[in-house]
Structure formats: structure tokens, C-alpha cells
Copies of this chain bind each other. A is one copy, B any other.
């Protein structure tokens, strides 16, 4: 079960990036090889620049540690496996991750430091190295610029569908492509599922600029479905720029080309982040929480997360019950000092709040069929429950909370909490 939409549209190849996949039976449950691929390799032509952001979790996984060591080298390839996170596996886990890099490096004729490893799946179980190394070879054997879609499938774990998005724009007559794939679900508190994302572009970008661009774009996409610091052991988001156009290298975080590229990368990342929400475990509803009129970004996020993570609101959402009492209770305990309850207004609407992508100001956000449900510390005059009920029956719901104390605004995205969420997470692994 998952929310509809966020279709997997055709993914444009990115010159200079080849992808290969294989079935390696990482979980060790399908020796008959009838299962879908569970490994992917991405290989980059010489000269690509690579940026990455990783989990802040104190128990970060072995591959994340190796990635951090290698980032800054002349990165030429990624090796990715699903089914096993290689997390909390101690020294042996580090050694396994290094061995994967060495094996792929030898196969591609590059150095081990040029390879970054990624793993996602169950925590605390050693990688099945012989099968994994066979899998790497299988991936290398079918490297191809056309294999983005296969790779999107191969990195899935509890995902019910692959996630990917492509954007193109033209600059001085040259087509610039941005294509990305991602995996992740488990969305009651989004941080708890591993999220992996790989985005490629044929633009040419100096590494420090690419890194700054990625940090800025993840901040308002992946980090808006995740509480600061609340990350899984393996979360990683990578951006690769192959430089396969005749356009000049972007060496500064400004200018027309830079802004266009940033918008395109942002759109791909936001689409990925929202796709992950929509594929939340057992999700039946998609909720955008837009908090406006805050004194600070931080207090907007506090309120947005208090609402987006309230199990009582999420179960009410599942039940299509517009229980505004639970919403004001969550706003009230979000910890905003000196909040005047009488100044707060809450609006219910339909659709997805995504306009931040286009840089629209909060006031310009346009939400369909919006209705005021809370004002003056209580139920809004003229609000009738049937109206809220009709909105809550929809799949895509917006909650706009105006705090009445400032100019800042922030948006986060989440889902409902269904019977099926409990079922999936109670049965996973056992």
C-alpha cells in the first residue's frame, strides 16, 4: 500500500555515467536466482566531480565511514547493495566494505580509493562476501548508460516501487541533464529508514561548488522529511557531475547556469524525497505541513515536525477524521516560547505544497479548496466538520499553520499511520 502518483517517468541517460545491476542473493533467501537484482554499480568517466552528504548517526555504517575517507579522491565508481546495511558490524564490516571497493577497482582498472561503497538493509549481519563479489562482477558485465531504471529497482528494500526523476534544461544551446534515483520508505519518522539517492548531471562543476550545491538542495528536500540529526545508520545522497558538455566549468555559486542547475537538482531531489514519503510503509495519505509567520526557521520546523510526527494526528489522517483538537494540541506542545494561541490559524486544503522548489514566497503558495479550521484558540467560526471530512477523504492533504508572529516559513512532508505500518515493521526481519 502506498500513495498514488510520483510516477517513474523515463530517466534520461547522463553522458559519462554507466550503470550495471545484478542479483547477488544478498539476503541469502533466494538461491534459485528468481528474485530481482539487489546490487548496482555506477561507473564514471575520468574527470567527473563528486559531492556527498551522509548520515549524522553516531552509529554510522561501515560503508559510510569508507565513503567519508574516499570523498575528495578522484571518484570513479559506486558499488551499492540492498538487503544488508553492513552497519554495526565492527572491524569486519569495514574490511568487507574495503574489499568490495578493491574488487570493483581491480575489475575497472582504477584505484580502490576511487570507489565508494553503499549498503542498505538489515543491521548487524555480516555481508555475504563471496556472493557480493560475484554480484559486483555481474554488475560490471552489464554497465550501460541506459540502465538507470534497472539500478533504481536494484537498490530497493521495503520500497514498493522504484524512485527516479529526470529534468533537462538548455543553456546556450546545450542540453543539460539531471537524472536521479533513490530508495527509502518506512516513513512514520522518515529518518528511520535508510535513504539512498544518486543524482548525475553532464554539467561541469568544480567539486567545492558541487558540494555546496548538494548541501543546499538536500537541506530543503531530504532534510525536510527528516528531523535534524535523526538519521539512519546508512543515509547517503550523492551528486556526480561528469562535465560532458562543451559549457564552461561552474566555478562559483552564482550566475545563470549555476542557478538553472541548482533548480534542476533541487527538483530531482525534492521529487525523490516526496516519492519516498508517498511510498511510506503502509501509507494511504500524503500530508504537506506548511508553517508560516514564524519568528525563526527553527520554530517553524519545531511546529511542523510536532504535527508531522504526532501519532495521534497520523492515525486520525488514516481514519480520514479531521480531528483539529489533536492538531492544536501538537502545535501547543511544540515548544514555541511565548506562542499566542489566539493568534494561530490553521487551514486545511488539498494537494501537495511544493512551490518552494520554484522559490515562491510563502504567501504565494496556492492550495486548492482551502478552509480555515482553527482561529482564536478554538474551532473557526463557520467551519463545519463535513467540510473538513471531505478534504480528509482525499489522498493529498495540506495543513497550513500560520503562527501570527513573524515572516519565516517552512514545509515538511509526511504520511498517515496505518494498520499496515505496524504489520510491516513488526514482521520485517522475523
**Interface on A for B, CB 8 Å cutoff?**
56-60, 85, 87-90, 93, 122-124, 186, 188-189, 191-192, 229-233, 310-312, 315-316, 318-319, 321, 323-326, 328-329, 331-333, 335-336, 339-341, 374, 376-379, 417-419, 421-423, 425-427, 429-430
The reply to whether A311 and B188 contact each other, CB–CB distance below 8 Å, is yes
Closest to A231 in B: B333
The reply to whether B89 and A332 contact each other, CB–CB distance below 8 Å, is no
Q: Which residues of chain B are within 8 angstroms of A233 by Cβ–Cβ distance? A: 325, 328-329, 332
Q: How many copies does the complex hold?
A: 2
With A378-B124, A379-B124, A419-B419 in contact, is A333–B88 under 8 Å at CB? no
**Distance of A369 Cα from B212 Cα, bound (Å):** 51
**Distance of A234 Cα from B173 Cα, bound (Å):** 64
**Distance of A165 Cα from B333 Cα, bound (Å):** 29
The reply to whether A124 and B324 contact each other, CB–CB distance below 8 Å, is yes
Q: Which residues of chain B are within 8 angstroms of A331 by Cβ–Cβ distance? A: 58-59
Q: Which residues of chain B are within 8 angstroms of A189 by Cβ–Cβ distance? A: 310-311
Known A233-B328, A315-B421, A318-B422; 5 more pairs at CB < 8 Å: A87-B325, A88-B374, A312-B425, A319-B427, A421-B422
The reply to whether A59 and B319 contact each other, CB–CB distance below 8 Å, is no
A304 to chain B, nearest CB (A): 15
The reply to whether A60 and B332 contact each other, CB–CB distance below 8 Å, is yes
Q: Which residues of chain B are within 8 angstroms of A56 by Cβ–Cβ distance? A: 333
Q: Which residues of chain B are within 8 angstroms of A377 by Cβ–Cβ distance? A: 59, 88, 90
